[in-house]
Amino acid sequence: MVIGLLAIAAIPTVTGVSLGISEERKQKARMEDERRMAKFYMDVFCEGNSEKAKSLDGGRVVLRDNKVYIDHVDPNRRKKPAHTAAAFYIGYPDDDEKRGDGLVSTVSVDPPMLNWIYADKNTMELKYGNRTQSIEHIVGHWDWTEDETGVILAEKDLWAAVEEEDGVWAVYYDINDNGLAGFVDSARTVVEISIDRNIIDKPTDSNTNNKNKT
Ligand SMILES: *[C@@H]1O[C@H](CO)[C@@H](O)[C@H](O)[C@H]1NC(C)=O
| C-alpha of 33 from chain center | 16
- Cα of 113 from ligand 1 centre, angstroms: 13
* 65: helix, strand or coil: coil
Q: Whose CA is nearest to atom 1 of ligand 1?
A: 130
pLDDT of residue 6: 52
**63 closest CA partner among 150, 171, 204:** 171
- Cα of 120 from ligand 1 centre, angstroms: 16
Go through 81-90 and write b for each residue having 16 or more CB atoms within 10 A of its CB, e for each that does not. ebbbbbbbbb
pLDDT of residue 183: 97
Ligand 1 mutation pick, 115, 116, 127, 133, max ligand atoms within 8 A of CB: 133
Ligand 1 mutation pick, 2, 130, 136, 139, max ligand atoms within 8 A of CB: 130
- Cα of 1 from ligand 1 centre, angstroms: 6
Atom of ligand 1 nearest to the CA of 1: 14
Q: Whose CA is nearest to atom 14 of ligand 1?
A: 1
Question: How distant, in Å, are the alpha carbons of 95, 171, 174, 176, 180 from that of 124?
Answer: 24, 9, 7, 10, 8
pLDDT of residue 57: 97
- Cα of 82 from ligand 1 centre, angstroms: 21
> At a CB cut-off of 8 Å and minimum separation 6, what does 89 contact?
36, 37, 101, 102, 103, 104, 142, 143, 144
Is residue 173 exposed (0-12), middle (13-18) or buried (19+ Cβ within 10 Å)? buried
**Whether the Cβ atoms of residue 64 and residue 80 lie closer than 8 Å to each other:** yes
**Whether the Cβ atoms of residue 131 and residue 114 lie closer than 8 Å to each other:** no
Pocket of ligand 1 (CB under 6 A): 1, 130, 132-133
- Cα of 132 from ligand 1 centre, angstroms: 6
CA distance 133 to 117: 10
- Cα of 133 from ligand 1 centre, angstroms: 7
pLDDT of residue 173: 98
CA distance 183 to 4: 33
Averaged pLDDT, groups of 10, the chain, 214 residues long: 50 49 77 90 95 96 98 96 96 82 94 95 98 95 95 94 97 97 95 97 52 41
Q: SS3 letters for 177-199?
A: CCCCCCCCCCCCCEEEEEEEEEE
CA distance 135 to 102: 10
**Whether the Cβ atoms of residue 153 and residue 173 lie closer than 8 Å to each other:** yes
- Cα of 6 from ligand 1 centre, angstroms: 14
**Whether the Cβ atoms of residue 171 and residue 119 lie closer than 8 Å to each other:** no
Q: Whose CA is nearest to atom 4 of ligand 1?
A: 133
pLDDT of residue 29: 82
